[in-house]
């Protein structure tokens, strides 16, 4: 019999929602986030209603997710710097493709990594990701730093530093959001959201 040494790391929360505990290494990812933010700074985006989001956002990869008064979309040029988004580090891509594969989504080919920075009190209201072209490709969401409560469909998933959630298939258009982040021993929660946008 083949023993799958990694089986215990894969937890199915709902059909299409898979949790990989401690799958990502913050020691590798956080310096890469800093390097990206030195080129494409974190900024608070405006939502179509005119309010500004409580999270600070940047992106890397071929396309970056944008919100402004006109709506939500992906752009290949950062509107703040008027330069292309920084390239997606190979370590990011390897992590995202590996997580998707472990979760049962072979062949994930992300072209976008949204990076969200949550100071204590920042949150993400319930929404559906629907600005992407191909809903056959999953979403890979990497949690770093301060813990968070991630709500998806009717599940609440407590997330710690390094945990990864993959949602796809029947859960690709599930409603999800993040409860206000609580202050702790680290300054921020970061989230990396990998998607195939174009």
CB of 124 to ligand MD6, least distance (A): 5
Question: Among 178, 181, 188, 197, which residue sits at the site for ligand MD6 (rule: CB under 6 A)?
Answer: 178
Considering only residues 3-32, where is the footprint of ligand MD6 by CB under 6 A? Answer: none
> Binds 171, which of ligand MD6, Fe ion, none (CB < 5 to 8 A, cut-off by type)?
none
Whole-angstrom distance, CA of residue 153 vs CA of residue 169: 13
Decide if residue 58 touches ligand MD6 (CB under 6 A).
no
Q: State how far Cα 46 lies from the chain centre.
A: 19
CB of 139 to Fe ion, least distance (A): 7
What is the distance in angstroms between the CA of the first residue and the CA of the last residue of the chain?
Answer: 42
Considering only residues 126-165, where is the footprint of ligand MD6 by CB under 6 A? Answer: 129, 141
Whole-angstrom distance, CA of residue 181 vs CA of residue 188: 9
Rounded (10°) angle between helices 26-39 and 90-102: 130
Binding mask 103-142 for Fe ion (x = CB under 5 A): --------------------------x-------------
List, in order, residues 6 or more apart from 190 with CB less than 8 Å away. Answer: 29, 30, 33, 115, 116, 117, 118, 143, 144, 145
Decide if residue 115 touches ligand MD6 (CB under 6 A).
no
Coil vs helix vs strand at 94:
helix
Question: Among 58, 112, 137, 191, which residue sits at the site for ligand MD6 (rule: CB under 6 A)?
Answer: 191
Number of residues that bind ligand MD6 (CB under 6 A): 10
Whole-angstrom distance, CA of residue 73 vs CA of residue 71: 7
Q: Which residues bind ligand MD6 (CB under 6 A)?
A: 65, 114, 116, 124, 129, 141, 176, 178, 191, 193
């Amino acid at each position: 019999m083949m023993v799958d040494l990694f089986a215990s790391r894969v937890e199915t929360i709902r059909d299409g929602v898979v949790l990989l505990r401690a799958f990502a290494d913050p020691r590798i990812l956080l310096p890469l986030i800093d390097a990206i933010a030195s080129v494409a700074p974190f900024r608070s985006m405006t939502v179509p209603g005119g309010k500004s989001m409580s999270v600070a956002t940047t992106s890397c990869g071929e396309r970056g997710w944008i919100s402004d008064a006109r709506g939500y979309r992906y752009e290949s040029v950062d509107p703040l710097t008027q330069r292309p988004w920084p390239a997606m580090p190979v370590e990011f891509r390897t992590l995202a493709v590996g997580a998707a594969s472990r979760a049962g989504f072979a062949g994930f080919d992300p072209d976008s990594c949204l990076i969200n920075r949550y100071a204590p009190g920042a949150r993400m209201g319930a929404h559906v990701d629907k600005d992407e072209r191909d809903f056959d490709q999953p979403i890979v969401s990497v949690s770093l730093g301060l813990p968070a409560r991630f709500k998806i469909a009717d599940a609440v998933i407590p997330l710690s530093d390094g945990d990864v959630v993959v949602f796809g298939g029947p859960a690709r258009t599930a409603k999800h959001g993040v409860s206000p982040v609580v202050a702790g021993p680290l300054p921020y929660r970061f989230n990396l959201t990998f998607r195939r946008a174009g």
